[in-house]
Structure 1
């Protein structure tokens, strides 16, 4: 018993169902050619129209090309109803959009976890997943400094008491922001570090004090 599959190419996504089923047969013959060439075998398909494949006269160019490949093999093509093939039918004939979205979501999640090097440990039939949160050093320093800033603490207290503070918000990471910008604590050394970050960073084009001020103003 063997299983073979591949992802559809961009142009194949526009194929009609008969052509997709036909392409699946050709794919199977190609990957198992070393077993099938020179042997007599039988192919079962869940698409009834392919049963009359060899008696059809109006074939498109794609189908004619595939027929030339089929001529190298000795086989009979039989129709196998989905009701008689429940297991395979459940995998291949369900709503294609739902199945594909589930598969894509799973693979995207695996890819994301691999990028961050997250490891999963299974103990007593339970999975433990380690999460990694990436944060810039400056941001972490601001968050830490906000905890001890009196003005920040005063505004947070008023917000937590359900008092309306227009423009102010508490971010999910616990930081205090005003109109989407980070509230800078009254910490001279921290502010100097922020200035250095903006002034010396290789990713910043420094065109004078005004440009630097406008860049800082967007975030703080």
Structure 2
């Protein structure tokens, strides 16, 4: 396991993730393709919600809505694409129990501004970076051709998304603060995945 923060190729050229996803997660995911697909739909829906939430929270922040509005639309387009595959395969959208991953990251967002804004951008970027890494693995290892193509098609936009969150942070915060806080939150993200959740999820 690589103990340095590993770089994911993307527009941001920023190193995000400390640890690579384990082979155990890959085996769990490809053994439960429909449950992973259902959770993927929820992830896209939630990602759109995060972008919208930031737009509403920082409604007067110059240049923010112009970036986040198209991002939210693209996340919803991905949601609709995944939903279409679910429907075609006779799987209805339904609630799923969530692993502690997202809640753990959210708890580590600073409650006071302006660090709350910085942390919100970085946590959103970390989740996008992990999603990108795992979709890349599924695009390689999934035995299902349709799903393999789905994940491969989404890689470029997923990489662009975490690049967007980096750019939003980099335009508003001093670089040393930005990189040191990313390292701290990347450790939280890595630790949240050290003990793999027993349910097959994109972030288990």
Q: Which protein, 1 or 2, shows the higher relative CO under an 8 Å CA cutoff with sep ≥ 6?
A: 2
Higher strand share: 1
Higher helix share: 2
TM (norm. structure 1) is: 0.21
Name which one, 1 or 2, has greater alpha-carbon Rg: 1
